[in-house]
Structure 1
Amino acid sequence: MQNPNSPNATAQNLGTGANRFVWRIAIGRCIQAAADTVTVFLEKAPQLADDKYTIERSQDIAAMNILLNDNLAGLQDTTITWSGAPTMGNFEFIPGNKSFRYTAEADFKGVIEFKYTVCNEASQCATPCDSANVSVEIFNLPKPTEGLVLEDAGPNGTLQIRGLQGYSRVDIVITNRWGDLVYKNSSYDNAAPWRGQAGDNGPYLPPGAYYYVIRAYDNESLVGKPQTGAIYLFKKENP
């Protein structure tokens, strides 16, 4: 308190919530002739920051703990509302930890955005709120089939990569379990697929697991992270 004996006293460094001040008046020897209480409420508002997320593949789930980078210090009870929720894909709110979850549609590639607002419901006077924007970029990176049948002339004998569209080119490298290169293509085309041979037209490889690295490019700029996984080559069963 500054100048507490003045009718125009000044208070600083108030705490969040109710701050009570008592003025007492003394008249002569009567040191408590009168008293008055003034309560000043300091309402603390949330301070939110924008959030950005990425989804590498369309089947991946974006778990968005949007409050992690927000300042909610001193707030006991907050509520969350949102607007502009995406209509494509599966969007849901998780009440338990006040987070969001989003799964994109199978072939969707692009950016979805929405806004959320946090309010201090414990406020005694107004209801202080703040808002922030959330964006999710869906790369929908290419994904290969999990396996193929050696020496099968039909579609089961080819490696198909889903999601080639929308990229300048897609590069794939396949190695065996020892890390030896067995196939490489800097611009994969499903119309001229790999059939489990060494190189382009070499002998068929032994059945088993092989390991790929796929990179997608947009105007020679790498999009997202390189995708890795296993491709299984199966021996064709005799009829």
Structure 2
Amino acid sequence: MNTLKKQMINKVPEVTIFFWIIKIMATTVGETAADFLNENLHLGLTNTTYIMGILLVGVLFLQFKASRYIPSLYWTTVLLISVVGTLVTDNLTDHFGVPLEISNIVFSLLLAITFFIWYVNEKTLSIHSIFTHKREVFYWLAILFTFALGTAAGDFIAESLHMGYWKSALMFAIAIGIVTVAYYRFKLHVVLSFWIAYILTRPLGASVGDYLSQPHHAGGLGLGTMGTSAIFLFVILTLVIYLTKTKKDQMPFTHEK
């Protein structure tokens, strides 16, 4: 297999500062866009779920068909799965009356089971090894559960525990900082560090999104879901165009089993 062909099998970006910036912003958009479609456009939770679910399936189909990492396609998938993950939790809470505490437990278990089955079958959870459709299924399933779990965790801490949005965001940011220090200073395992940080960015983004978009009387800055979504989508689009042109997040080939 020549070098070009090897590079084409990597389906995810390298973990750089751009990765984390876009990821956190995508999680924020997942929160605010779901609220915008549901409430501001009056589509309702059910119709919003159907529409975004269909869009996600279509984009995932294209993502699986792609033979290489394509920034615009990959991050569109992340954005849509962020919205759908939010809607899954919202449906459980609003339509089925499932307490956020239960949602947190259920999604934590589903995520743990996904990681367990993934590791038992593939002997790795590294995102440097997403070069088969089977591993890609595990990868995107784990991403979906992290978004659903993050939404439940963020809402539970900010609203049910009455901590407020900015305090919740600060708490999750500190937690991510601790993981970062543990990785760089104390050599915490790279794969474990990545997934802990990835999981924590979801409730961080949800708390930031709610803080920016919610009205003042609810503890937010009052930018609205449309304004917050538009600002973050513009930044994401700018960064994705930059990465497409510069290829700074192209992952080098590493042969992992």
In which range does the TM-score fall when normalised by the shorter chain? under 0.3
Answer 1 or 2: higher relative contact order, Cα 8 Å, separation at least 6: 2
In proportion to residue count, which structure has more helix?
A: 2
In proportion to residue count, which structure has more strand?
A: 1
